[in-house]
Amino acid sequence: MIRHLLKLVWNRKRANVLIMIEIFISFLVLFAVVAIGMYYLDNYRKPLGFSYESVWTIRISTTVDLFERPNTVFPEIGEEYHQVELAIQALPAVESFAAARVVPYSDYAYGPAHMKLNNQEFMCGINLAGDNFKDVMGLQIVRGRWFEKSDDGLNFQPVVVNQKFARQVFGDEDPIGKKLEASFFGNKEPRIVGVITDFRKEGEFSALEPYAIYRASISHDNINPLLFIAVKVRAGTTRAWEEKLMTALAGAARKWSFDIQSLSELREDKLEGQLGLVLAWASVSGFLMLMVGLGLVGVLWQSVTQRTKEIGLRRAKGATAGDIYIQILGEIFIITSMGLIAGLLVVVQFPLLNLLGFLSGKVYIASIVVSMALIYLLTFVCGLYPSHLATKVHPAEALHYE
């Protein structure tokens, strides 16, 4: 049976090759869409590492270009920053607040930075944050401790890393007290004092990466540049609170400007941007699959029309409607399989070429299986109606042909 179907496909190779090429291209595009979608889904199921509810962010723009000299202290803005702190603290809805170089979901990032530690070279996300950052963001300490006021007297800079950092660099070894070779903020030697649960600054769809938070030592006359202040407010605080906050900030630092957003808003913007890429690719993939479907229906429909004599003779020799269904759908299966085999040979080369290296093996294999299943489903559905037409061919119609 299979040999006979292969012969039928070969006899109509010119029309079938075009369908195979369409299936091949559609599979590659669909695989990319499915892979990204499953990558996001796999990431979404993992712990986020922080809480974004009831948290507001204040982005500070001062009279000094903080990006111009990222490792420089600015005594001239220390007093103004102190007034900003007092203004925030005076608001009744505020539970806690902390300064930070960047906050989750923001488009600003310091890094990822290249680190060399414990005979390993790796990329690591880094941040600079104040003592209350843990409470504001709801971070969970699993080993060691968080920053505290008494750290001002230390001769090293305290650093807290996430579990991914600890596992990747130190394995089962205790990371507490270990020195970091890279000092990104200030001149003190950085040293690990604590480990938090896995922390993903870019949000739910981002991959888990090593992350290190350096302690920001803030004094009124010696302040390292911090772009954001994260504010934890009481549950149920309405949007009207933003106006009170802006009024207080404007009165505390008249020459500065502030951009206030809730962390929930930043989260929505981030997720929409990340999903937008998937939706764009999905639109392209959907269009290609539609073209494949229409082309397949057209070719099969034409094939049934042109093969009336052949199908009629088969019916005259006793072939049932089920036999005709199997023949037409079998040809579709073979055509689809040939296009998918070509696509599969290309896709399996991606890991060898270091393409899509961000995908885990589990996600990679699942993406291939799902993509192939969708292509088979598409071609099966498209072949149902032409197959149905073929079963309606009466044996007597074969007599119309010489």
Report yes or no on 80 lying in a domain: yes
Residue ranges of the chain whose pLDDT lies below 70: 1-15, 63-78, 109-111, 182-186, 218-226, 296, 299-325, 387-402
Per-residue pLDDT at 281: 75
Give tens-digit pLDDT for 338-387: 889 989 999 988 887 777 777 888 899 999 999 999 888 888 887 777 76
Nearest to 23 by CA among 357, 301, 380, 283: 380
Please tell me whether residues 158 and 286 are part of one structural domain: no
Instruction: Name beta bridge partners: 100.
Output: 129, 228
Separation between Cα atoms, residue 312 and residue 157, nearest integer Å: 86
Q: How many domains does the chain have?
A: 2
Separation between Cα atoms, residue 290 and residue 282, nearest integer Å: 12
Please tell me whether residues 301 and 161 are part of one structural domain: no
Domain around 335: 2-45+274-400
Per-residue pLDDT at 222: 45
Give tens-digit pLDDT for 47-77: 899 999 999 999 888 766 555 555 555 556 6
Please tell me whether residues 37 and 118 are part of one structural domain: no
Per-residue pLDDT at 221: 42
Give tens-digit pLDDT for 12-41: 666 677 777 878 888 888 888 888 888 888
Report yes or no on 50 lying in a domain: no
Report yes or no on 267 lying in a domain: no
Question: 226 with 186: CB under 8 angstroms?
Answer: no
* N-term to C-term CA, the chain: 27
Per-residue pLDDT at 309: 62
Please tell me whether residues 251 and 285 are part of one structural domain: no
Please tell me whether residues 74 and 221 are part of one structural domain: yes
Report yes or no on 310 lying in a domain: yes
- Last residue in a domain, options 255, 285, 308: 255
Quick check: helix, strand or coil at residue 260? strand
- Last residue in a domain, options 226, 255, 284: 255
- Last residue in a domain, options 255, 290, 305: 255
Please tell me whether residues 331 and 373 are part of one structural domain: yes
Report yes or no on 387 lying in a domain: yes
Separation between Cα atoms, residue 105 and residue 206, nearest integer Å: 10
Please tell me whether residues 12 and 92 are part of one structural domain: no
DSSP 141-197: EEEE----GGGGG-SEEEEEEEHHHHHHHHTTS--TTPBPS---SSSSEEEEEEEES
Please tell me whether residues 163 and 118 are part of one structural domain: yes
Please tell me whether residues 248 and 355 are part of one structural domain: no
Cis bond upstream, residue 112 (ω within 30): yes
Per-residue pLDDT at 136: 95
